[in-house]
Each structure stands twice: as C-alpha cells, then as structure tokens.
Structure 1
C-alpha cells in the first residue's frame, strides 16, 4: 500500500505551542484581519478563503481553507483540525496528569502544563499515522452533561444566549438537509456533544462533511444580522459548527462500514500562576457562604482549580 498523506491543521491566533512535522501543519487563522502575521505557518487568507469572516467562524476558517486548497497540502488522503492549545492524545502511553483536572467539568480534555520537548515524543508522525487507515473518522470523546438535555440548556450554551439563533439553525438544517432531521432531534433531546470542531477524516468523509458544514453555516449567516454581536455571541457560527460536527458524527455512527474512534484530548495551560491560590481561597469561601446550586458551582470550581494547580506544579512529561 502507498504511504498515506495525512495532514492535520493546527489553528493558531498566537505564536505559542507551535508543533510542526510532516503531518501537523500550523495555520494562522484570521489573517485577513490580523495586525501581524506569524512566521513559518500556513495562512487562512491565501487562495479561496473566508479569513475575513473568522470572527464569526473561529477556527473553521482554517477548515474552509483546507477544504478549498487541498492541492497546497499535497491532496491528502486524511485531513484534520486541532488547536494550538487542544490536541488529540494520539499516544496511549502519554499519562493523564489528573482525571480531576479537565478543561470542562467531566470532559475528556485533560489539563497539561505547557508543551515541552518530552511531550513532542508523544506526538510523532508514527504515533499519529498508526490510526490510519484503520479508522475513517477521529473525534474527541463526546462531552456529556447528564440529566441536562441539550434543549434545556440551549439558552446558556457556549455563547448562544439567544435561542432564536438555534431556531434559524434548525430551520436551515431541516430545509437544506432533511435527511439529518432525525439526528437534529436526537441532538436536541440528548446530552452529548463533540467539542472544538476537532476531527480527522478520510478524504471522502471530509468532502461530505465540509459541504454539509459550510452549506448550513453560510445560509444561517445570511439569515442572521450579526452586525451588533460582540464577544462570545459574535462567534456563533463556530459554536454551531460544533453542533454540526455532533450531528454529522451521529449519522456516521449508524453506518457500520464507517470506523470511528473517539479520543482523549490534551488542553495546555499557562505556567502556574500564584494568583490562582487567591482564586482558590475565594471559591472555598463562596462555597461556605452560598447554598443550593451556587454552592455546588463554587465547590466544582474549587475542585477543578485545585486539581489544575496540582498538575501545573507537579506534572512532568
């Protein structure tokens, strides 16, 4: 068999945590609006692109660039996307620093200290290539919020404070891709989500997914006036992309011929900040002063921050 050409783009907004080899390809996102260009990286404003729309699409401007400029990547057999601070944990021998220190509560993104040369040994071409062509699709393990169906938390979900945005999204999906209506309903009633727009797919699935993803998002974008949006709300298309990845994978899971693997993820924090100790004390105090749901939230924040501090102070690659 010929050697597979695998390319995984690593989205950057800053010059931090740069990893690069024959598979991993750093790409600067939002270049059309950037005040400075990062060295030795691909740029999402070259060739056919949506770089100027990055504030709404987030890392998906890198995905779009890869879709429309595959020749610049050598026409890969597999294409993927991850972030400079969020990686797939390709090496099963890479130890999890702490099961309690996660990016989101009970998620499969485990907190790690900043990248070192020792970490890079776990991110070699050999470690990555070992998954392919055995698997057709790779995603981060689904994030569950038990007892909280998505439909009940939509107004608080990842920046989509306005449920009307989701209504437009659902209408577009049903109109343009009615074959996904069942998966949309499952998503709405369920409690699982595939986060961060991270994936690796074979070329056939990548083409299918990209057409589906940007077909929906472009139409949603045309129906929503986002001119006054700021902050997290302005990133609405990026968040909707996560929903579409979830819905797409849900449909793939019903096809026994498609081999999918769900992976743990690494989330890279800054070095230990002594100010976190003060924040920890504040969470401890708040967990004593409040009752009910607020007490639960502060206790959760305390536990997560305590575990994070321990990792940043003690974990060695």
Structure 2
C-alpha cells in the first residue's frame, strides 16, 4: 500500500511509511527535499506539472507503483482522516484503509455541496470556459458511455474534489486510463501553454469533474471520509469569493482554491 503525497515544497509529513511524499514538477527544479521521491523518475510527465498539478504524481504512481496492491493520492496539506481536524495524527492508518476497502471499492473525501450552483455553472464561473466546452465535446464524442454520468454531474450541486482517493491497484489503473485519456484529448485541442496564473492549472481543475463520472459509470461503491487539513480554511473569504464569481462575474475574483 502506498498513499502518495503530492508536494511542491518541503512540508511536514505523516509519520507512517504508507505515506510517500512525491516532489511534483521535479523535472523543472534543481533540488529535492530529503525523503521525497521525484515525479521525474521512470515513466513520467513531470514537466507538465504547471498544467496538471498533483496529477503528475498520480501519473508517476500509475507507472512506477504497479507492485502495490492499494494506491492513494493525498496533498501535502489535505488527507483522508478518521475525523475532521488539522492534526496529522488523525490521517487514516493502514488498518483503517483496509477496513474501508473491505466493504467499499473506493475511499473518497466528503463531497462538497455548493447548494445554489450546479457543477457546470460553478466551473464556468470560476475558470476559463473554453477548456470545459472541449471537455464536454471529448466526453460526448470519444467516451459516450461516460456521458450520462457527466451530464448528471453537471446538474448536481455536489462533487468529490481534490483528485484524492484510495483504491485497489486494478481500479486505479482503470480510473487513470480514463482520466489521462480524456485529458490528453483535451490537451490536443486547447492552447494550454498560453494560459496564465491559475488558468494554467487547467488539467488539474478539469480532472476533478472526472472522479464522480468514473465512479457512477462503473457503478463502484465508495465511502467518504472527513478531511485532515493542516492549513486552516478561511470560509468567510471562500464564501465571499464564491458569491462574487456567481453574481458579479468579476475578473478580479479568486478561484475556489
């Protein structure tokens, strides 16, 4: 079992060997923190990290951790936990993960509910629109079996975010085949290398729309867990920015991250 922890800087990590820090974008950097594995070893897409974010760690795991029975992805400041907290001592242990997977196919973070905005509108209000329209086209034309679940997600106010999950190796391979297959087709159709700021992180944002689509299409069962977040969230600011994006349509608003 390995839960890879995507990190772009040195950071406190869980004191448990199942959690493996992966230094994302290593191909673009000159150093690497002690104890971290670079996402530029073996088969990799490390140089695409500015556009794919934590997905370069997931891609690395897909091809370089195939001997592990269970694979997961966490962020340096977000983990699945036994309870919602800001303490690393509350991240899931190996026994808790095995217990969860004994009864369910996939372990996920608790879903986010936006209540007054569906997922299609939320994305279009927060990000460049062109990539999303291309994503819709790719799903419709190249992955038609996933289109009903994608359309259902678009209308839903709920979503599982962060590209975080824990699942058996076979499911991880199927999931990542879908994610990277879709994103490769989108990448070929948009000028992603001309995007700036948060917009450049386009494939990391788009991919968040794919987890629930894959889960629903494949009819996998899942169990949700609260988040352990090592950095406290300013919910007042997040809520204010959410409302600004929805009602003011201002270019000066922040993304939901």
* TM-score between the two structures when normalised by the length of structure 2: 0.85
Q: Does the CA contact (< 8 Å) of 2:25 and 2:47 recur in 1?
A: yes
Partner of residue 263, structure 1: 225
- Deviation, 1:173, is 1.4
What is the CA–CA distance in structure 2 between the aligned matches of 1:147 and 1:122, rounded to whole Å? Answer: 31
1:243 equivalenced with 2:238 (yes/no)? no
What is the CA–CA distance in structure 2 between the aligned matches of 1:144 and 1:17, rounded to whole Å? Answer: 29
What is the CA–CA distance in structure 2 between the aligned matches of 1:204 and 1:20, rounded to whole Å? Answer: 27
Provide the alpha-carbon RMSD of the alignment: 2.4
Q: Does the CA contact (< 8 Å) of 1:139 and 1:200 recur in 2?
A: yes
Structure of larger gyration radius: 1
Q: Does the CA contact (< 8 Å) of 2:20 and 2:36 recur in 1?
A: yes
Partner of residue 44, structure 1: 39
String of CA shifts for 1:258-303, please: whole Å, max 9, x gaps: 3310111121127xxxxx9xxx9xx9xxx9xxxxx77xx9xxxxxx
What is the CA–CA distance in structure 2 between the aligned matches of 1:202 and 1:236, rounded to whole Å? Answer: 27
- Deviation, 1:122, is 5.4
Matches within 5 A, 1:1-317: 6-71=1-66, 75-89=67-81, 91=82, 94=83, 96=84, 112=86, 115=87, 119-120=88-89, 123-157=92-126, 160=127, 162-252=128-218, 255=219, 258-269=220-231
- Deviation, 1:26, is 1.1
Q: Does the CA contact (< 8 Å) of 1:8 and 1:81 recur in 2?
A: yes
What is the CA–CA distance in structure 2 between the aligned matches of 1:21 and 1:223, rounded to whole Å? Answer: 42
Listed as ranges, the gaps of 5+ residues in structure 1 are 1-5, 98-111, 271-275, 288-292, 298-317
2:102 aligned counterpart, secondary structure? coil
- Deviation, 1:133, is 2.8
String of CA shifts for 1:161-214, please: whole Å, max 9, x gaps: x21211111111122211011011111111111111000111221111110000
2:163 aligned counterpart, secondary structure? coil
1:10 aligned counterpart, secondary structure? strand
Partner of residue 255, structure 2: none
Q: Does the CA contact (< 8 Å) of 1:141 and 1:194 recur in 2?
A: yes
String of CA shifts for 1:214-256, please: whole Å, max 9, x gaps: 000011111111232111100000001101112112324xx3x
What is the CA–CA distance in structure 1 between the aligned matches of 2:91 and 2:124, rounded to whole Å? Answer: 39
What is the CA–CA distance in structure 1 between the aligned matches of 2:93 and 2:118, rounded to whole Å? Answer: 38
Partner of residue 315, structure 1: none
What is the CA–CA distance in structure 2 between the aligned matches of 1:123 and 1:149, rounded to whole Å? Answer: 30
What is the CA–CA distance in structure 2 between the aligned matches of 1:156 and 1:50, rounded to whole Å? Answer: 29
- Deviation, 1:123, is 4.4
1:266 aligned counterpart, secondary structure? strand
- Deviation, 1:35, is 3.4
String of CA shifts for 1:130-161, please: whole Å, max 9, x gaps: 3233321011121111131223333223xx2x
1:169 aligned counterpart, secondary structure? helix
What is the CA–CA distance in structure 2 between the aligned matches of 1:186 and 1:122, rounded to whole Å? Answer: 31
Listed as ranges, the gaps of 5+ residues in structure 2 are 248-257
- Deviation, 1:121, is 6.4
